[in-house]
Amino acid sequence: MTKLTKNTLLKVRGSKPETAMDKTTRVVRQMVDEETEQRRAKNSRLRNARLEREANTPPLSKESAASKSRGSKTASTR
């Protein structure tokens, strides 16, 4: 019988080489993650700009809002 040592008992197997499909999957996931991060950053920037604009804009009175909506209806029917 052979003597049991760390080298004979626990053989370290090398990792299998990356296949073409694995490489494609990795690259596509990286691209999707980058696009997701860019979309989140853009949405955050636009949300902050909208909130800032709404905070700085005085609310419209009911009279001015009604006159604007009436004017747009007559303009759209022409």
pLDDT tens per residue, range 51-71:
999 999 887 777 766 666 665
Query: How much is the pTM?
Result: 0.51
With respect to residue 49, please indicate whether it lies within any of the assigned structural domains. Answer: yes
Range of the domain at 47: 21-56
On whether residue 14 sits in a domain, the answer given is no
Q: Is residue 6 in a domain?
A: no
Q: Which residues contact 68 (CB under 8 A, 6 or more apart)?
A: 60
User: For residue 9, is it within any domain?
Assistant: no
Contact criterion met (CB below 8 Å) for 2 and 8? yes
pLDDT band at residue 3 using 50, 70 and 90 as cut-offs: confident
CA distance 21 to 19: 5
Q: Which region among 28-32, 37-41, 56-60 has the lowest average model confidence (pLDDT)? A: 56-60
pLDDT attached to residue 39: 98
What tokens appear for 38 in the block? 């860019």
* Cβ neighbourhood burial of 12 (10 Å; 0-12, 13-18, 19+): exposed
Q: Is 13 a domain residue?
A: no
